[in-house]
């Protein structure tokens, strides 16, 4: 145990999360919240929005709402594990965020602007997690 200048004891070797891990987790949580709102709007819309003809992945809008809701819960759960710095959270973040990109891409004919924003946000999360340098010491 060590004591800091403020008199707070902490276990040696435990460093607080800062920098890239917190940024990636915060962006991932933001993506989860936005995906949740997309899901709520899709569930509330019912069948009011009709996709164009020839789209191979047609669901009812409420079906896409449930898919987006499940994806939002998965992304939020992994974001929380990323905040807590759990072993394997980086791999889980990459996998879940990649799945979120696929869901957003398939949702694109229904809501193109929101899908593009979510895809861009998820790409930044993957980049942040993939370039996370764990060998570097605290700043």
pLDDT at residue 136 in the model: 54
pTM: 0.75
| Cα(11)–Cα(32) distance, integer angstroms | 32
Give me the half-sphere count of Cα atoms (radius 13 Å) on the Cβ side of residue 91. Answer: 3
Q: Name, in order, each residue with C-beta under 8 angstroms of 16's C-beta and a sequence gap of 6 or more.
A: none
pLDDT tens digits, the chain, 139 residues: what are they?
A: 555 556 555 444 444 556 777 888 999 999 999 999 999 988 887 654 455 556 565 667 788 889 999 999 999 999 999 988 888 888 999 999 999 999 999 888 888 898 999 999 999 999 988 887 766 544 4
Domain positions in the chain: 18-45+59-130
Q: Confirm if 6 and 72 have CB atoms less than 8 A apart.
A: no
């Amino acid at each position: 145990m060590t004591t800091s200048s403020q008199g707070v004891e902490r276990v040696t070797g435990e460093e607080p999360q800062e920098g890239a891990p917190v940024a990636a987790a915060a962006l991932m949580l933001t993506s989860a919240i936005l995906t949740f709102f997309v899901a709520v709007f899709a569930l509330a819309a019912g069948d009011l929005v009709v996709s164009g003809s020839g789209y191979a992945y047609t669901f009812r809008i409420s079906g896409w709402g449930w898919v987006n809701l499940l994806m939002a819960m998965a992304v939020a759960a992994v974001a929380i594990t990323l905040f807590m710095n759990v072993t394997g959270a980086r791999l889980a973040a990459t996998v879940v965020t990649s799945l979120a990109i696929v869901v957003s891409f398939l949702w694109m004919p229904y809501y193109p602007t929101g899908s593009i924003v979510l895809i861009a946000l998820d790409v930044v999360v993957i980049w942040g997690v993939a370039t996370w340098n764990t060998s570097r010491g605290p700043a």
